[in-house]
Amino acid sequence: MDPDAVARAFVEHYYRTFDTNRAALGGLYQDNSMLSFEGAKTQGAAAISEKLTGLPFQQCQHNISTIDCQPSGPAGGVLVFVSGSLQLSGEQHALKFSQVLRYRSPNI
Amino acid sequence: MDPDAVARAFVEHYYRTFDTNRAALGGLYQDNSMLSFEGAKTQGAAAISEKLTGLPFQQCQHNISTIDCQPSGPAGGVLVFVSGSLQLSGEQHALKFSQVLRYRSPNI
């Protein structure tokens, strides 16, 4: 399967989960995963899930503008760079965001 | 040495080289390196150097706003996310940019 298509499907799944069932994002991380968010680092699926569900907004809608992906190095996986906007409930203006995800299929 | 300090030194070196001697950037890439730039992928140090030196602007000045780094996975190295602005010679307004670099020290 085209790696760009896999990356796009993963990104869509990630942000759909973020916007509709944020607590389930923890299932997309592993115990050695690390999240850097606005300068703060969080390690491990459970801690990352707690961090994301504890963000100071509830309803949100991510709109993706760009997805760039490439192989992430000799250990395999795909490095995905995402940019877009984040609309928070009750806010007039959307926020710009960008995020890097390192994705590794459980099947490869 | 603190990995954040190493990443910061590398980022400063990368953009100082970009702004003062762009042709030398090729020396920071390897033959299996990949550059994704505005949706286009370029592989290998020589091709990446050619791509970067061929960009349609000459004098430029990068100003770094944020540097986030974390381990890039089991193969080692550091993943660095950089955001900032890019001032082109003769342009009134700076452009916003963000870039992801995967850095691997030759000594580790």
Are B53 and B23 in contact by the 8 Å Cβ rule? The answer is yes
pLDDT at B61: 97
pLDDT exceeds cutoff 90 at B21: yes
Contacting residues of A for B100, CB less than 8 Å apart: 79, 81, 100
Which of A2, A35, A36 is the best mutation test for B, with the most CBs of B within 10 A?
Answer: A36
Phi-psi region of B53 (alpha: psi -120 to 50; beta: other; left: phi over 0): alpha
Could you tell me which residue, B73 or B7, shows the higher pLDDT? Answer: B7
Measured between CA atoms, the residue of chain B closest to residue A34 is B70
What is the CATH classification number for the domain harbouring B46? Answer: 3.10.450.50
Q: Are strands A60-71 and A40-43 parallel, antiparallel or unpaired?
A: unpaired
Q: What is the mean pLDDT of residues B80-108?
A: 89
Q: What is the mean pLDDT of residues B22-43?
A: 94
Q: Is there a domain that residue A48 lies in?
A: yes
Look at B98 and A102 and tell me if their CB atoms are within 8 Å. no
pLDDT band at B106 (very low <50, low <70, confident <90, very high): low
CB atoms within 10 A of CB A90: 8
Q: How many domains does chain B have?
A: 1
Interface of A with B (CB under 8 A): 34, 36, 39, 41, 66, 68-75, 77, 79, 81, 83, 98, 100, 102
Q: Is there a domain that residue A16 lies in?
A: yes
pLDDT at A106: 63
Q: Using CA of residue B48, residue B50, residue B51, residue B57, what is the dihedral sign?
A: positive
Residue A108 burial (CB < 10 Å; 0-12/13-18/19+)? exposed
A-B C-beta contacts closer than 8 Å: 46
Q: For a pLDDT cut of 90, what percent of chain B falls above it?
A: 76
Contacting residues of A for B8, CB less than 8 Å apart: none
pLDDT exceeds cutoff 80 at B74: no
pLDDT band at A2 (very low <50, low <70, confident <90, very high): confident
Q: Is there a domain that residue B108 lies in?
A: no
Look at A102 and B73 and tell me if their CB atoms are within 8 Å. yes
pLDDT at A28: 95
pLDDT exceeds cutoff 50 at A108: no
Q: Is there a domain that residue B48 lies in?
A: yes
pLDDT at B107: 52
Q: Is there a domain that residue B8 lies in?
A: yes
pLDDT exceeds cutoff 50 at B108: no
Q: At B89, phi and psi to the nearest 5?
A: -60, 130
Query: What is this model's ipTM?
Result: 0.84
Q: Is there a domain that residue B37 lies in?
A: yes
Lowest-pLDDT choice from A37-51, A62-76, B22-36, B40-54: A62-76
- Report the greatest alpha carbon distance in chain A: 44
Could you tell me which residue, B2 or B102, shows the higher pLDDT? Answer: B102
What is the C-alpha to C-alpha distance for residues A25 and A16, in angstroms, rounded to an integer? 10
Q: Is there a domain that residue A98 lies in?
A: yes
Residue B69 burial (CB < 10 Å; 0-12/13-18/19+)? buried
Q: Is there a domain that residue A108 lies in?
A: no
pLDDT band at B40 (very low <50, low <70, confident <90, very high): very high
pLDDT band at B2 (very low <50, low <70, confident <90, very high): confident
Q: For a pLDDT cut of 70, what percent of chain B falls above it?
A: 95
The domain in which residue B71 lies consists of 3-103
| Residue A21 to chain B, least CA–CA distance (Å) | 26
What is the model's pTM?
Answer: 0.88
